[in-house]
Amino acid sequence: MTESPAHRPQLITYVDRLGGDLAGLTDLLEGPLGGVFGGVHLLPYFTPFDGADAGFDPEDHAQVDPRLGTWDGVAALARTHSVMSDVIVNHVSAASAMHRDVLERGAESPWEPMFLTLGSVFPDGATEQDLARIYRPRPGLPFTVMTWGGERRLVWTTFTADQVDIDLRSDQAWAYLTHVIDTMVASGVTLLRLDAVGYTGKEPGTDCFMTEATAVYTERIMALAHERGAQVLLEVHGHHTQQIDLAPTVDYVYDFALPPLVLHALHAQDLDPLSRWLDMRPANAFTVLDTHDGIGIVDVGASDLVPGEPGLLEPAQIDALVESIHDASGGGSRLATGAAASNLDLYQVNCTFYDALGRDDRRYLLARLIQLMTPGTPQVYYVGLLAGANDTDLLERTGVGRDVNRHHYTRDEVEAALASPVVEAQVAAIRLRGEHPGFGGEFSHALSGSRGTLRWKAADATVTLDFDVADATFSLVATDPSGEPWELTHAALEV
């Protein structure tokens, strides 16, 4: 398997929670983190960035929140790093100007066709079976009673009542999305992450997830992006075969199966499921360990949509993995997951990756090295970069489960974390991943039981990771004709 060396590691971050604002984040990326990342995924920085869903409920998707900066600030960052931004294609804020007009004027509003109701998807009425079939990553049905122009309606709200779904059958929706994409690309954004795109294709007679209509909408958005010189990353959580099927049809998909498989390997001392996945996973993938969302379980489980289709892990292995994470985190993840917290997601465990491994520096660094050695474009979440622990204080204040992994860092906290041995080793490995010519060659792997080898080779340049998940011993060695071998081992973390 050959990989382009241009796919340098990217940082995933909220602007306000790491740098404070766009200028502060740019200073970090050009200062202490200079040369480490080739790109950055800016999590929603639109107006407002601190709404009901941490910016994924924009009132104005085409406006940078003035508390964070301006589009000029995004453009300045894009001159030194590739910039990815979220195109939130499934919904907008219920407080957006467009939806507020519908609340006031109902059918007289020109924006009324842009928003989905039960009746607009099921004009002939929905049966009990129709409603029970709808796929949703939350408990209950995806509808909220609202009053539009004096008339009570059942409005489609897949995620929360603050996020109203848009109807991609309407001209208004496409005018809106085109404006958003035009605004982003004009400021240097070259990667568009299609958030929650799997839920856009609501059709009678289906589960309303990843339908044929979804594929049509995705293709249309890709055409808009390509015409403007941008590429598209699809964000879809689901059975691992979905990523394999989607990969040939889009620019990039996520490898959401990798994080739970790495955790399983380190907790169960078993590399076999990861080995099987490396044999079949798509090459045009963005790899992650942690993100702003939880650690996906649905991505390695049996299919919810195709009964009998097995997952990458057996049900007993998944149960053991979830309990291992809860134990390793000292119960912090249990407080933040499922019915224990609001904004709950039935298919994710809310926890920092560092806490999911019991704050064990060796196991944590080994997990990151496995990710960096896996083919694809590596993305590193800001909390994971700084080996952050669960923020249970923030969780207690907000009651939002995912906030346990969304700490607000001060500059002093960032500087202290960057000086820690595990973070220094991570940064060195990320830098190697972006610069070493071996990663432009062929990838191979040999994993069995608890021991494994991952290798990249290009001409006279090689990068090899030998490791054992049983005791978290590892050796990462990089060679090329230009100098002495570069080496990182578990001994680097010993005091």
Q: Which residues are catalytic?
A: 195, 235
What is the C-alpha to C-alpha distance for residues 200 and 177, in angstroms, rounded to an integer? 13
Q: What is the DSSP string of 340-364?
A: GSBS--TTEE---HHHHTTT-HHHH
Establish whether 217 is an annotated binding residue. Answer: no
The answer to whether 363 and 266 are in contact (CB under 8 A) is yes
Alpha-helix runs per DSSP H in 154-271: 171-186, 212-227, 240-246, 258-268
Establish whether 360 is an annotated binding residue. Answer: no
Establish whether 347 is an annotated binding residue. Answer: yes
Cβ neighbours, 10 Å, residue 226: 12
Compute CA 196 distance to the chain's CA centroid, rounded to the nearest angstrom: 11
Establish whether 169 is an annotated binding residue. Answer: no
Nearest to 154, CA basis, from 166, 164, 163, 143: 143
Q: Tokens at residue 239, please?
A: 């059975």
Residues near 84 by beta carbon (within 8 Å), at least 6 away in sequence:
10, 39, 40, 41, 42, 189, 190, 191, 192, 193, 233
The answer to whether 197 and 253 are in contact (CB under 8 A) is no
Which residues are 453's β-sheet partners?
446, 466
The answer to whether 238 and 245 are in contact (CB under 8 A) is no
Q: CB-side exposure of 352: number of CA atoms within 13 Å?
A: 27
Establish whether 195 is an annotated binding residue. Answer: yes
Establish whether 402 is an annotated binding residue. Answer: yes
Alpha-helix runs per DSSP H in 50-203: 71-78, 97-105, 118-121, 128-133, 171-186
φ, ψ (nearest 5 deg) of residue 413: -65, -40
Residues near 396 by beta carbon (within 8 Å), at least 6 away in sequence:
none
What is the C-alpha to C-alpha distance for residues 100 and 482, in angstroms, rounded to an integer? 62
Establish whether 407 is an annotated binding residue. Answer: no
Q: What is the DSSP string of 396-449?
A: HHH-BGGGGG-----HHHHHHHHTSHHHHHHHHHHHHHHH-GGGGSEEEEEEET
CB-count burial class (<10 Å; 0-12, 13-18, 19+) for 398: middle
Establish whether 293 is an annotated binding residue. Answer: yes
Cβ neighbours, 10 Å, residue 110: 11
Establish whether 91 is an annotated binding residue. Answer: yes
Establish whether 235 is an annotated binding residue. Answer: yes
Pairing of strands 82-88, 39-42: parallel
Q: Enumerate the known binding-site residues.
A: 53, 91, 193-195, 235, 292-293, 345-348, 402
Q: Enumerate the known binding-site residues for substrate.
A: 53, 91, 193-195, 235, 292-293, 345-348, 402
